[in-house]
């Protein structure tokens, strides 16, 4: 493995005693090979083990060994660093650092031939403010750059237009749920595949309490092998540990829908999916084997489907069709507001076709996936992660499975918890895990990156609201992302006012989390609390106490986050965290101020005009009454009144003020 064709004594010792590389007394081990495949494979292996290494290619050259001249062919070299920090990945280019008072760094900087400087030293110096770095370098220090561990490499034959996810071994859970859930995972699938989504929902009434639900998307489709498991196996999916803003999360929605259909009507789910125009569509009739939680395939065949790609599911269920606040109609309408890039077609049981057109052809920015942040993790999850990790050491576990932890921070965390950085994660006891957990919360770590969020954006949110709501004034605000307990989140808010909206009733509140409408449990939601605690009187709406404001308005609040703290698994309401409520209130106030401005300007002016018109209508009446009463001429009285009206119009506003009350 090393040495010129022969493993060195060190390596032999290592192999004999079943030790790991980092137990070796040497700094690095060099592996040279003539095989390109081995060179590539070794790199994958090393990175999947969480080892630090660097690689180099050497040209063919003549060499003299022991006085014998030999022609060496092209060689591939890998240097494995036994102490993790030696890896070039942990070094910064020297010229980036400008000034320092840290003697260690000064020394490194002055040394000749030294082209880089340890990332750790810089980081440590930064923390105690011993050095000033050039602009840009801090960004690099704070960034997510690092080596991602490769868990498994499989060669697959794949000739489709889109690739779903190369980092996840199984496959994505990209369609799930009836009606509600089905839609948003379809949106997930389309966003991931960069397709402008078009979702069709059809509900057919078969009997008073029996319906057929058909949902069809134009998403990337599902590969044949995955169809049975996705639709007929509960909790199948890979989104569990994913920290990424997405609509579906648990892989429970669609299979639970299939289960519901099967237990209420006994009918199988009918699924057809196609991944490419040139590929055939696959049709399945599926049930869930509830004893084993495995798919039970009743029928499978290749079918013609006049569509480029997409998925369609048909379920027969028992249920009740209803209209109003908590209905499929409302859900789709709301989804259309916050997904302006999607087109929805909905055919109701009454055979009414509703089309919700797109407001934009731009897809939302794809949310990046991030590793959990040490501040946002719970002890139970940490224990589970420790047990499941493939990292060999605590240090590599911390640096690879969390964001914002570098080797130095990892060591510090271990040290504070009284643990060694070299310990095996699997050997950590419960007590030790608790100590580690505590030290993870105590040590200062930079906030997680916020590019894992995909906000709608104020302009698009406004457009979405405009196309679904007959108001006359619209305003939308998108706050900057903020971090709460290691979880980045972002609040967006919009208000539609006036027009055909109802004046007499409470304002309609539309709540969303990650672009999914929340229809139930309004009273239990943090959004509701933020709305009722905002003083809407200041913004021109009526409000009594801490109640929902009253007036012709609709308030939209959207929370985008990698982790939305729902009050329950049903994902109906957002839990009451002060930080979240505060941020929602700030968004509402920002919208409110603009609304207030508009109301004052336009509505007051309109009311004023209405009043003027009223005077004009009153004048003939007053004139004829006065004529009768006084015996004077009607026409003359009316003329006098009109003259005064013209004169008064200018000074009217003053008279209309608070002092207008009689007596």
Partner 1 sequence: MAKKNESKKALEELGQKIVLDLHRGKNPEINIPVRALSNVVFDKKTKTLKLGDKIGSRSFFNVAHAKKFLQTVEVASILKKELLESGKHEHLRGVFYMAKRTIPGTKVNIVDEQVESDKIIEDLEVITGLSREQLHVSANKMGSMIGNIILEDSGDTIDCSKLGRGGYSIPSIVDELEFKKINAKYILYMEKASTYERLVEDRFWEKNQSILLTSQGQTTRGIRRLLQRLSEEKNLPIYVLVDQDPWGVYIYSVVKYGSINLAGQSERLTIPNVKFLGISCDDIIKYDLKRHLIKFTDQDIARLKQISEYEWFKDNKAWQRQLKMMKEMGGKVEIQSLSARGTSFISEKYLPEKIKNKDFLE
Least Cα distance to 554 among 310, 379, 333 occurs for 333
Q: Are 123 and 406 in contact (CB under 8 A)?
A: yes
Token pair 């419960």 in the structure block, residue = 430
Residue number with CB closer to partner 1 (593 or 634) = 634
The secondary element (H helix, E strand) that includes residue 577 is none
In order, the DSSP letters of 183-230 are HHHHHHHHHHHT---EEEEEEEEEETTEEEEEEEE-S----GGGHHHH
Of 366 and 648, CB closest to partner 1? 648
Backbone angles phi, psi at 596, to 5 degrees: -60, -45
Nearer to partner 1, 70 or 622 (CB): 622
Instruction: State the DSSP H helix or E strand holding residue 575, giving kind and residue range, or none if neither.
Output: none
* Nearest distance from C-beta of residue 619 to partner 1, angstroms: 9
Are the C-beta atoms of residues 255 and 236 closer than 8 Å to each other? yes
Q: How far is the CB of 644 from partner 1 (least distance, A)?
A: 6
Nearest approach in angstroms of CB 626 to partner 1 is 5
Nearest-angstrom CA–CA distance, 556 and 577: 19
Contacting residues for 68 by C-beta, under 8 A, at least 6 apart: none
CB 618 to partner 1: min, Å: 5
Nearer to partner 1, 35 or 649 (CB): 649
Assign 154 to helix, strand or coil.
coil
Task: Output 235 or 614, the one with its CB closest to partner 1.
Answer: 614
Contact 82, 20 (CB under 8 A): no
**Of 441, 442, 443, 423, which is closest to residue 432 (Cα–Cα)?**
423
Nearest to 579 by CA among 653, 477, 486, 446: 486
Task: Choose between 378 and 621: whose C-beta lies nearer to partner 1.
Answer: 621
Which residue, 67 or 660, is less far from partner 1 as judged by CB?
660
If the CB atoms of residues 299 and 633 are measured against partner 1, the closer one turns out to be 633
Nearest approach, Cβ of 630 to partner 1 (angstroms)? 3
> Which positions touch partner 1 (CB under 8 A)?
611, 614-615, 617-618, 620-622, 625-626, 628-632, 637, 640-641, 643-645, 647-648, 652, 655-656, 660-663
Count of C-beta atoms within a 10 Å radius of residue 252: 19
Nearest approach, Cβ of residue 654 and partner 1 (Å) = 10
Shortest distance, position 605 Cβ to partner 1, whole Å: 14
**Whole-angstrom distance, CA of residue 659 vs CA of residue 663:** 10
Cβ-contact 237, 246 below 8 angstroms: no
Shortest Å, Cβ 614 to partner 1: 7
Tell me the three state secondary structure of residue 469: coil
Judged by beta carbon, residue 381 or residue 625, the one nearer partner 1 is: 625
**Collapsing DSSP states into helix, strand and coil, what is residue 131?**
strand
Shortest CB 603 distance to partner 1, Å: 15
């Amino acid at each position: 493995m090393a040495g010129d064709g022969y493993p060195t004594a060190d390596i032999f010792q290592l192999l004999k005693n079943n030790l790991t590389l980092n137990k070796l007394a040497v700094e690095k081990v060099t592996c040279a090979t003539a095989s390109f495949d081995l060179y590539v494979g070794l790199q994958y292996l090393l990175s999947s083990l969480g080892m630090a290494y660097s690689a180099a290619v050497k040209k063919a050259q003549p060499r003299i060994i022991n006085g014998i001249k030999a022609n060496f062919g092209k060689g591939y070299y890998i240097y494995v660093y036994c102490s993790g920090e030696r890896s070039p990945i942990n070094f910064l280019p020297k010229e980036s650092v400008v000034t320092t008072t840290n003697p260690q760094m000064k020394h490194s900087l002055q040394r000749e031939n030294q082209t880089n400087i340890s990332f750790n030293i810089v980081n440590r110096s930064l923390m105690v403010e011993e050095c000033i770095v050039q602009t840009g370098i801090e960004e690099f220090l704070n960034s997510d750059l690092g080596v991602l561990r490769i868990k498994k490499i499989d060669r697959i034959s794949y000739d489709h237009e889109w690739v779903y996810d190369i980092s996840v071994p199984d496959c994505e859970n990209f369609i799930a749920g009836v009606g509600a859930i089905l839609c948003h995972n379809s949106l997930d699938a389309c966003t991931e595949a960069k397709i402008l989504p078009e979702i069709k929902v059809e509900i057919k009434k078969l009997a008073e309490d029996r319906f057929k639900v058909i949902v069809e998307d134009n998403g990337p489709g599902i590969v044949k092998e995955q169809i049975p498991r996705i639709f007929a196996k509960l909790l199948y999916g890979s989104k569990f540990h994913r920290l990424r803003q997405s609509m579906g999360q648990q892989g429970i929605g669609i299979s639970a829908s299939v289960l519901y259909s099967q237990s209420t009507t006994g009918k199988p789910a009918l699924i057809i999916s196609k991944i490419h125009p040139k590929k055939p569509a696959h049709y399945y009739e599926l049930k869930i084997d509830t004893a084993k939680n495995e798919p039970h395939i009743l029928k499978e065949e290749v079918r013609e489907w006049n569509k480029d790609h997409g998925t369609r599911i048909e379920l027969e269920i028992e249920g009740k069709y209803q209209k109003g606040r908590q209905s499929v109609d409302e859900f789709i309408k709301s989804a259309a507001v916050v997904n302006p890039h999607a087109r929805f077609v909905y055919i109701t049981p009454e055979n009414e076709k509703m089309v919700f057109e797109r407001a934009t052809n731009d897809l939302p920015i794809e949310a990046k996936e991030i590793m959990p942040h040490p501040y946002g993790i719970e002890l139970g999850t940490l224990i589970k992660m420790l047990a499941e990790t493939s990292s060999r050491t605590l240090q590599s576990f911390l640096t690879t499975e969390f964001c914002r932890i570098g080797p130095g921070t990892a060591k510090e965390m271990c040290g504070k918890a009284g643990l060694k950085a070299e310990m095996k994660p699997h050997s950590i006891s419960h007590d030790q895990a608790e100590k580690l957990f505590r030290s993870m919360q105590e040590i200062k770590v930079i906030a997680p990156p916020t590019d894992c969020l995909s906000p709608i954006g104020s302009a698009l949110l406004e457009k979405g609201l405009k196309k679904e709501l007959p108001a006359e004034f619209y305003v939308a605000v998108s706050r900057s992302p903020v971090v709460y307990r290691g979880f980045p989140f972002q609040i967006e808010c919009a208000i539609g006012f006036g027009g055909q909206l109802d004046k007499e009733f409470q304002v309609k509140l539309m709540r969303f989390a990650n672009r999914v409408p929340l229809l139930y449990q309004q009273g239990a939601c943090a959004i509701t609390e933020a709305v009722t605690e905002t003083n809407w009187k200041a913004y021109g709406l009526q409000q009594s106490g801490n109640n929902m404001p009253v007036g012709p308005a609709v308030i939209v609040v959207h929370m985008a986050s990698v982790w939305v703290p729902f009050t329950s698994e049903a994902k109906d309401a957002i839990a009451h965290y002060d930080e979240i409520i505060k941020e929602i209130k700030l968004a509402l106030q920002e919208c409110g101020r603009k609304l207030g401005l508009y109301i004052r300007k336009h509505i007051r002016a309109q009311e004023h005009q209405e009043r003027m018109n009223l005077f004009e209508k009153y004048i003939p009446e007053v004139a004829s009454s006065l004529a009768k009463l006084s015996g004077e001429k009607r026409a003359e009285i009316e003329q006098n009144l009109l003259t005064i009206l013209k004169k008064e119009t200018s000074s009217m506003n003053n008279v209309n003020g608070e002092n207008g009350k009689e007596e």
